[in-house]
Amino acid sequence: MHHDPTAGRGAGAVRPAWPRLPVAWDVAAAGQEHAEALAARRDGHLRRWLEQAVAGSALVREALGGRSPRDAVLGELPILSRRTLMRRFDDSVADPRLNLPLLRAWLADGARIGEPLLGEYWAWESSGSGGSPAVFVQDAHAMAVYDALEALRRPVVSPLHRWLDPFGVTDRTAFVGATNGHFASTVNVERLRRLHPTIAARLRGFSFLMPVGELRTALQAWGPTVVATYPTAAELLAGEQVAGRLGLRLREVWTGGEALGPAVRRFVERAFGCPVVHSYGASEFLPLATECRLGAMHLNSDWAILEPVDAHGRLVPPGEPCHTTLLTNLANTLQPLLRYDLGDRVTFAPRPCACGCALPVIDVNGRCDDALLLRDARGHRVRLLPLALTTVIEEDAGVYAFQVEQVDERHLRLRVAAGGAPGRAASRRACEALGEYLASQGLGQVRVTGHAGQAARCGRSGKRPRVLAARPA
């Protein structure tokens, strides 16, 4: 058992992070600047961030290789992989009290979701969608930047409501997601709830692992005016609304974490009679980009530097898709991410947006997982969310490199990348965890067959999704 340095501090020992006035002012001012001034502001952030990161992180000092933070050229520095970040975690963080065993033990305790680590930091884990999970820790300054970006750069879709209630104190917000673990969105929701009783009374999380009927009942009882969730979950809720089984009166729907297609957006907007606002974020940097009033996705480039690169790490020009994207997080000096391989594919627009905002416009090739439609014992169709399936396999079975493929409405095939005895053991754990979840959804008769040492199959888009629906007959 690892020593718990937070013992005796109490669950309420939270330092408010939103919004530090200088940070909020900086974010507000940058949103009004032209491209040249915005670039100068970002460069200033980069130089100050490098000076602090070099002082605190051995990994960053090694990356600079003796270069001065004032003179270093970002494109000449080495690329940081997730594997290296986790293997050398102690060298990456600025606080010597932090180490992976401490973080892993903290993240294993579900009672501490949203509670500050060491009384001053916030930690979460990634979903492992890249094949291996990672741990990220943020300081109060980083959280203040994220909060200010979320609060000040979200588009005004209801001007009258914003004028009457500029701080959203009359809204009741429901977050529908994976509430059972220390994931970035869940930690942030619980952190905000711990900050003040008023926030706790207006914000609540709901697990998408619940059967649809239970989720529907819980949301009806809560009566939210805003729902924040993933596009596949928003589509499921919209279907319940259209069928007359939900009856929510929403002002806005916020989506993120997956690709949002135009057909799904139209369906959700028609179902709830309100606009959908989509955003792009990651465990490594929460609010990377948000839509403007014209629907273009604007990167928060004053605090997050994204470099779209080819397979050889060379920058690709605007208008061309990249092989992967490198992130430099200018908000967090506790665990500095310098040219970190994010794994996402982003295309920068060659021209500025017609909305007048100078923040660059990006197109994100997001998650491509499918929702599954299965039949229960009575012949009724049950929709399963892809993120619910992947969460169950990761959290309950500890398996991260896999693919769930639907064979038909009563049969799933689960591929595990590992081979040999470890692969067979992982396959058994994953099948058992998936089978238990299916039974909780009334799908106990659905068969799951496991296969070890098999590569994931490409979907219709040419990508390799983790959850793949059956092809139409």
For residues 26-33, give the mean pLDDT: 90
pLDDT in the model for residue 158: 67
Other C-beta atoms lying within 10 Å of the C-beta of residue 367: 21
One-letter amino acid identity for 179? T
pLDDT in the model for residue 132: 65
pLDDT tens-digit map of 205-222? 999 999 999 999 999 999
Chain mean pLDDT for the chain: 89
pLDDT in the model for residue 13: 33
Percent of the chain with pLDDT over 90: 77
Note whether 21-365 and 372-468 share their fold: no
Tell which residue, 192, 253, 237, 170, has the closest CA to residue 18. 192
Q: Would you place residue 6 in the very low, low, confident or very high pLDDT band (cuts 50, 70, 90)?
A: very low
Q: Domain 21-365: which topology? A: Rossmann fold (3.40.50)
One-letter amino acid identity for 83? R
Percent of the chain with pLDDT over 70: 90
Per-domain boundaries in the chain: 21-365, 372-468
Q: Which residues contact 217 (CB under 8 A, 6 or more apart)?
A: none
CATH code, residues 372-468:
3.30.300
pLDDT tens-digit map of 48-89? 999 999 999 999 999 999 999 999 999 999 999 999 999 999
pLDDT in the model for residue 11: 31
- Give the dihedral sign, CA 347/348/350/352: positive
For residues 451-464, give the mean pLDDT: 69
How many Cα atoms are found within 13 Å in the side-chain-facing hemisphere of 417?
A: 12
The pairs formed by 215-224 with CB atoms below 8 angstroms and a separation of 24 or more are: 215/176, 216/240, 216/245, 216/246, 219/174, 219/176, 219/246, 219/248, 220/246, 220/247, 220/248, 222/172, 222/174, 223/172, 223/248, 223/249, 224/172, 224/173, 224/174, 224/248, 224/250
Integer Cα distance of 387 and 258 in angstroms: 9
For residues 315-325, give the mean pLDDT: 94
Which residues in 355-418 belong to E strands, given as ranges?
362-365, 372-375, 381-384, 402-408, 411-416
Q: Would you place residue 409 in the very low, low, confident or very high pLDDT band (cuts 50, 70, 90)?
A: very high
Integer Cα distance of 284 and 231 in angstroms: 20
pLDDT tens-digit map of 136-189? 999 999 999 999 999 888 877 666 555 555 556 678 999 999 998 999 999 999
